[in-house]
Amino acid sequence: MKFGVTLPYGAGVAADPEWLRSFVAAAESSGFESVYVVEHVVMVSAHDERYPYAESGKVPLASDCPIADPLDVLAFLAATTSKIRLGTSVLVAPLHHPLVLAKRLATIDQLSGGRLIAGLGVGWMREEMESVGVDFATRGRRTDELIEAVRVAWADSPASYRGEFFSFAGTNTFPKPIQTPGVPIHIGGHSSAAAKRAGRLGDGFVPLGLHGADLAKALGEMREAAERAGRDPDAIEVSLRGSLTAIDHEAIDALRAMGAHRVILSPATADLDQLAEHLWAVNALMGLVD
């Protein structure tokens, strides 16, 4: 079992370089395998779409919450760390052009020595997409194309792709990722479509906001989609979520029984001393490092 950790975005520290440096150094030294950042290009004061990961349906972040560009943050962390993997959970895929994203991901993979994990999701906030001219209704098809086109850009030189939303021909993009055949792409989401997309196209699956029977259903849909696509469902890495302060052997056993390869834990504080205690408590529980 591998352990990752997210940033406490609600605390307003996720754009503070000294805080980032200290927190991720503590995670790395205590044996955590990965750290994850999120993406929102804009926040809005009110949103019509239901936020799917809270019972209230409202995103639990203020509209002025400082959510720094996730890939810039990971480039910064690549220079301040040496072992911990650097992940997005998740990028809002429809906001990106595949050639630009392929370049940025490959660059961070090079800078980090091959430590990047690219988590992608279709997004839930209509207002965010409309503010940058993206049709909310087509975000699923757009994400499928983006994944295909990014992989073409990494694999081929020159590279060509023709789709509904993206087309290019005779392009060369370097550097290529260190990881082969490319940066692993993990699909995040809560819907049946996300589970099936992970099975068809993902190197990993991050079922967000799902528990019990709903989680079991999503994992089953992922596996069925993989088999229909001629892929090995056991090769698709499953990352489940948990709380940094509510993890114990019973919880780990339950997550492992659901098929988790990795547990991504969310902190409840930004206090660095408390965070260090919580990180090392997981190390003591699981024996991550001596």
* Residues 88-101: tens digit of each pLDDT: 999 999 999 999 99
Q: Residue 98 CB: number of other CB atoms within 10 A?
A: 25
The answer on pLDDT for 50 being more than 80 is no
* Cα–Cα distance measured from residue 194 to residue 190, given in angstroms and rounded to the nearest whole number: 6
- Could you tell me the pTM of the whole model? 0.95
Question: 178 with 114: CB under 8 angstroms?
Answer: yes
**Of the candidate ranges 10-14, 77-81, 100-104, 110-114, the one whose mean pLDDT is the lowest:** 10-14
Question: 7 with 26: CB under 8 angstroms?
Answer: no
Question: 284 with 242: CB under 8 angstroms?
Answer: no
* Cα–Cα distance measured from residue 1 to residue 263, given in angstroms and rounded to the nearest whole number: 7
* For the chain, percent of residues with pLDDT exceeding 90: 88
What was the pLDDT predicted at 64? 80
Give the tokens for residue 113. 């020595």
> Is pLDDT larger for residue 57 or for residue 30?
30
Q: What is the pLDDT of residues 133-164, one digit of tens each?
A: 999 999 999 999 999 999 999 999 999 999 99
Q: Which CATH class is domain 34-183?
A: alpha beta
What was the pLDDT predicted at 182? 98
